[in-house]
Every structure is written in C-alpha cells, then in structure tokens.
Amino acid sequence: MNEKSHVSLEQHACLVCGVTFDTGSVLLDRRLRASMQHHTTTGWGLCAEHQRLFDDGFVAMVECDPQRSGSPSSADRLMPEQAYRTGRLAHLKREMFAAVFNTPIAANLPCVFVEPGVIERLQAMVERATD
C-alpha cells in the first residue's frame, strides 16, 4: 500500500525485539492533506510481551552485531535506531543483572544492547551461580 492518506495509525517499535505494534492512536494531518503512510512509526516502546517481562522485573539483553550497528555516540550507549539486532535475546531479573555485572540498573531501563558472546558468557555464569 503506497497511496498516501490523511490519517495514519501510529505505531511504536519495540526496543527489545524491534517489532512494530499499534499504539491505538490515530495521527491526523492537520491540513487534511494526504501526506502520510497508513502506518507511521513515531517512537520506541515495548510490545505487549516485553512490557509484561519488564513489569515482572526482567531486563532484556539484546544482542547486536557491532559491525552492522551504527557507531555508538558514547562508549556504552547505542541508540536504538542504530542497533542491528541479531535476534538473540536473553531476559534476566534485575537483581541478577546487578549482581552479575556488579552495577545497579536503572529501574526504567527495559533493555541493554550487548555484543555477540555476552549472552553465552552470561548464561554460563548464571548456570554456575545456580548450581
């Protein structure tokens, strides 16, 4: 569907999995020009599944390919739109994350981007810790 419309269904992209989902809002061109696509992604959010995990106290680790991701604006912060997701995810309880990485995690942070290999190392550590 390439024809333009004067209304558009607002969508957000999930920070964790990158899937776009409807926010339930409708965007309207103020001058009622047919200027918009039928769907407009306006920002980032969490899809229903990842919102539930976030509410349950999990932080998502999102594996990104550093070769394909844009360069981070600072050493440890990759902008969501620059992240090239490999599709690999792990969820970790916030307390566990803080213990493993020896750093507290902001309560409003739903996910962190990690390089390939980090999730495997982490799983090995968690298995050892729970043995």
**Rule CB under 5 A: which residues touch Zn ion?**
14, 16-17, 47, 50
Per the structure block, which two tokens stand in for 48?
A: 């229903």
Q: Report in angstroms how near the CB of residue 18 gets to Zn ion at its nearest.
A: 7
Q: Report in angstroms how near the CB of residue 120 gets to Zn ion at its nearest.
A: 22
Nearer CB in complex with Zn ion: 12/50: 50
Cα 99 versus chain centre, distance: 22
Instruction: Give the residue nearest to Zn ion (CB).
Output: 14
Nearer CB in complex with Zn ion: 14/122: 14
The count of other CB atoms within 10 Å of the CB of residue 83 is 21
Terminal CA-CA length for the chain: 54
- For tokens 């899809």, the residue is 47
